[in-house]
Copies of this chain bind each other. A is one copy, B any other.
Amino acid sequence: LPFCAFLGSLGLGCMAFVSVWCQHWRGGFAWDGSARMFNWHPVLMVTGMVVLYGAAALVYRLPPTWRGPKLPWKMLHSTLALIAFILAVLGLVAVFNFHNASGTPNMYSLHSWLGLGTILLFSCQWVAGFSAFLLPYAPIWLRALYKPIHIFFGSTILMLSMASCVSGINEKLFFSLKNGTASVPYKLLPPEAVFANILGLLIILFGVLVLCALAK
């Protein structure tokens, strides 16, 4: 329980850090194709692919789920995963619209390849989990066969999200705190850089603790 409380606060901390970064230093939010529309991308990705994703993955680690009927917990697990997925798709819409409006090509960076790959795996995981565990038609042997695969990809996707977030924050700081245009460049570690680097480390810490709880 103290572990749950700590993990919950850490998750809220990640959401707070990414929101403050985008609001205070990156000009806030809008849904208009501008750089302020881009700002929804980090917020939605961290909230969906890390914090809500982690919450969904940990549902079966809560002691109350070990007693009584399993169906309500399956509903909670798959609904949290669905909300996480919807936020992630909105986060993609934010960055694609920004790129289209500003004439930037899509899907060129390693960050974008890894990120889209992560989200595609996530959608496969959702569809396969839904078909195997929630639909009543799936035979028991199929469930037993698929379960360890589902659990392995559950952790793998979280790991890939963490790598996507780190590469995204890193590149955004290089873009925004460029040598010429920013008043203090990234190299000289202005407060924004320290703040967003810490955000990256908090995301890693949150992810590692979730993986630790899943590994037990």
**Which listed residue (B110, B156, B175, B208) contacts A197, Cβ 8 A?**
B110
Enumerate chain B residues within 8 angstroms of A204, measured Cβ to Cβ: 114, 160, 163
For residue A108, give the distance in angstroms from its CB to the closest CB of chain B. 5
State A104–B185 Cα separation when bound (angstroms): 12
Number of interface residues of A (CB under 8 A): 38
Contact with B along A143-173 (1 / 0, CB 8 A): 0000000001001100110110011011101
State A1–B104 Cα separation when bound (angstroms): 46
Q: Beyond A109-B197, A113-B201, A174-B171, is A156–B211 a contact (Cβ under 8 Å)?
A: yes
Interface pair B196/A108, CB less than 8 Å apart:
no
For residue A3, give the distance in angstroms from its CB to the closest CB of chain B. 15
Interface pair A169/B200, CB less than 8 Å apart:
no
- Does A127 belong to the interface (CB within 8 Å)? no
